[in-house]
Amino acid sequence: MEVTNVTEYQAIAKEKLPKMIYDYYASGAEDQWTLEENRNAFARILFRPRILIDVSKIDMTTTILGFKISMPIMIAPTAMQKMAHPEGEYATARAASAAGTIMTLSSWATSSVEEVASTGPGIRFFQLYVYKDRNVVAQLVRRAERAGFKAIALTVDTPRLGRREADIKNRFTLPPYLTLKNFEGLDLGKMDEANDSGLASYVAGQIDRTLSWKDVKWLQTITTMPILVKGVITAEDTRLAIQAGAAGIIVSNHGARQLDYVPATIMALEEVVKAAQGRVPVFLDGGVRRGTDVFKALALGASGIFIGRPVVFSLAAEGEAGVKNVLKMLRDEFELTMALSGCTSLKQITRNHIVTEWDAPLARPAPRL
């Protein structure tokens, strides 16, 4: 089948992957209300396109934390990519570099920071889970820095793992032929089987539930890399993150895998953007599957977006070529959206190019009496 949009990779991945692995990638928490809402909320935002503007040349380039990239579409950290494809994170790193954009490597990758760096040049961020053993954290951050990673994405929404019922039913665990490569040698690279989710047990055993704002400051004492706080969805926490020294905020609900019934990230974005007051850049992930979604996020004030599941699904389907294709399709769709909205650079995308439910009821038809 010819793939013509990002979403189509999900069905291909479902056919190819063992059920335990597909379910781990696809699932959200509990009722999966937020999982659906992450997509549905984009559909409730409509365009106010401008016409008769010369759109023969469109510039999608942008600068993130001082690094110039080809487009505001980046790769979110997703764990254990070698379950999707034997080349796993290597393939993702190569695809991101070829597209001129940023890859974020998960702490729980099945390839190490050094291995990913060895794929060649590229701008890469490292996603950090804070383990109870702070020596482990300090060592890992140092290794990421030495391997040329440019920023830390500190995940703050996972003091415990969300309840993903498919993983419980499947007794999800990392397949025995793989390891969490960054922790090999530290005796933390394997995941024991449990009588529920093996990952939930691993998190309960290793991840530091006491993590708090003071640790964001502590992290700055052990690294010079800028810190993006990943998992903020309120104005209150935006202000605290900036006070604690964050270089940027990622509005994220962890792909709806943690607390169910939090709003879609696109619904939370504007609140965070307003609270940030332009002091730090704000990014978004969650449910981005179309170029129109990217445009909507930028119109609401995001400096860029990250994609999670599209990467693992396309990896499963076609390896590196699949991830490349996902990035290309999103790029092409985003460029087309800009053209059809009358925008030739990212700066020209404004709040007036969209209308939301919480604006004056411009877009809604009057109720029929």
- CB of 85 or CB of 257, closer to ligand FNR: 257
Name the catalytic one among 254, 290, 309, 324: 254
d(CA 211, CA 231): 14
Q: Which of 90, 108, 202, 313 binds ligand FNR (CB under 6 A)?
A: 108
Minimum CB separation of residue 125 from ligand FNR in Å reads 11
10 contacts ligand FNR (rule: CB under 6 A): no
Q: Could you give phi then psi for residue 307, rounded to 5 degrees?
A: -115, 140
- CB of 262 or CB of 343, closer to ligand FNR: 262
- CB of 60 or CB of 288, closer to ligand FNR: 288
254 is a catalytic site residue: yes
Q: Which of 34, 78, 101, 325 binds ligand FNR (CB under 6 A)?
A: 78
Q: Which residues of 32-43 are buried (b: 16+ CB within 10 A; e: fewer)?
A: bbbbebbbebbe
Distant-in-sequence, close-in-space partners of 228: CB < 8 Å, separation ≥ 6: 125, 151, 152, 153, 154, 246, 247, 248, 249, 250, 283
106 contacts ligand FNR (rule: CB under 6 A): yes
Tokens of 257: 């895998």
Q: At which residue do the structure tokens 């504007």 appear? A: 270
Distant-in-sequence, close-in-space partners of 300: CB < 8 Å, separation ≥ 6: 266, 269, 270, 273, 351, 354, 356
d(CA 50, CA 136): 53
Minimum CB separation of residue 346 from ligand FNR in Å reads 20
Residues 228-247 that bind ligand FNR (CB under 6 A): 230
Tokens of 267: 């619904």
38 contacts ligand FNR (rule: CB under 6 A): yes
> Binding mask 278-297 vs ligand FNR (x if CB under 6 A, - otherwise)?
-------xxxx---------
312 contacts ligand FNR (rule: CB under 6 A): yes
Query: Quick one: which of 100, 105, 103, 104 has its CA closest to 69?
Result: 100
Interface residues toward ligand FNR, by CB under 6 A = 25, 38, 76-79, 106, 108, 127, 155, 230, 252, 254-255, 257, 285-288, 307-309, 312
